[in-house]
Structure 1
């Protein structure tokens, strides 16, 4: 069995109010190293809400989440931010690259925040990631000078900058054409299988989902398959 990277136990998220709304209900889930998992379900089923809980972007109302063997339920906001920076990478439907910076600088930013590597090592790693993702020669360009698929690959390079144990993706191909979508899909599958990074992705795209090792089906915030 693969090394377990993430364990969710009874994860529940309820929005308080006059009529409480349950976004995620009693989810138990394990994600292993090298595993590519796609979360599926109809609109409003809680897919993104679950992903944000798994990515420490939101706190559960009850239940707990173990990340790389650490119980995050007692973490304060600074500890959550530190865990996201050290151990998690994020890719969203829109790349959210900073338009006034080069592609290289966009990839360097998480490494500069973390400060784990010296300046030369940061540049070497960022250049290597962009090269590995087929972006050699585009390092000094700005995001606006790239195609949509290329920008998403820069976003993937940025997500990998600090060598996360898990990469979380929310509709990463939703704004891309068929060819670029297939390219992003294949990159994520390779990251899981060749680099042993755990991948958790939300997607409506059946072609994207077909590359996954496992599907998690949600309905009304609950895992049904």
Structure 2
């Protein structure tokens, strides 16, 4: 396996009268095809760490390498380009655009990146929806889908540009038990097929699908952490 992501001594603080440390000296390496879950108590910094790994926020100190590329010297435009081309995001709330159909939502990042022509891009979007079992929902609007279907659509959108890494923040936090099981299995299947996945979760059953769990307490990586 080869490292898709490497983070070294990440620290993130919020300035103020009483500074708050969100992430404190965290290092990790994610190998290609791994499914990793980040777990910890509420307020432990799980989402903050994910945003640093996903280049949505910058650390106060430390570095993130994405496929051996040091991201610390990148400007905001370069980081945005890397996120579009190399990262896929899934959140607790699907954030699908209500005025677009499911297929159009999946097509948006493909169009933004511009690697594929219109015909090929549309076909790729439909292939992803078929892969996730919701091709029959392609021309519906998000409001017409169940919660589980919307999250599958969000996952298809995250896969649209064939990312190196999928980052998921509580992807099942708004789903019932049946939909949670389905999304968990989809992520496991993706990892088995070679896709790299890092997910924040509070769900112990969900984390059982992961190859390993990274425990976070008070912003620090705790080796051997158990819920």
TM normalised by structure 1 equals 0.98
Aligned partners of 2:202, 2:218: CA distance in 1, in Å? Answer: 16
Please state how far the C-alpha of 1:206 moved relative to its aligned partner. 1.1
Partner of 2:132: 133
Partner of 1:99: 98
Aligned partners of 2:192, 2:34: CA distance in 1, in Å? Answer: 7
Aligned partners of 2:93, 2:19: CA distance in 1, in Å? Answer: 30
Aligned partners of 2:123, 2:205: CA distance in 1, in Å? Answer: 34
Please state how far the C-alpha of 1:137 moved relative to its aligned partner. 1.4
Question: Can you give the 5+ residue segments of structure 1 that lack an aligned partner in the other structure?
Answer: none
Aligned partners of 1:43, 1:68: CA distance in 2, in Å? Answer: 30
Aligned partners of 1:22, 1:178: CA distance in 2, in Å? Answer: 34
Aligned partners of 1:174, 1:28: CA distance in 2, in Å? Answer: 26
Partner of 1:213: 211
Partner of 1:51: 50
Aligned partners of 1:4, 1:20: CA distance in 2, in Å? Answer: 33
Q: Does 1:223 align with 2:225?
A: no
Aligned partners of 2:198, 2:122: CA distance in 1, in Å? Answer: 27
Where do 1:93-172 residues align within 5 Å? 93-172=92-171
Query: What RMSD, in angstroms, separates the aligned Cα atoms of the two structures?
Result: 0.6
Aligned partners of 2:181, 2:144: CA distance in 1, in Å? Answer: 21
Q: Deviations over 1:31-67 (max 9, x none)?
A: 0111000000000100000000000000000000000
Partner of 1:74: 73
Partner of 2:20: 21
Aligned partners of 2:167, 2:136: CA distance in 1, in Å? Answer: 27
Superposition misfits of 4+ residues, deviation over 2 angstroms = none
Please state how far the C-alpha of 1:18 moved relative to its aligned partner. 1.8
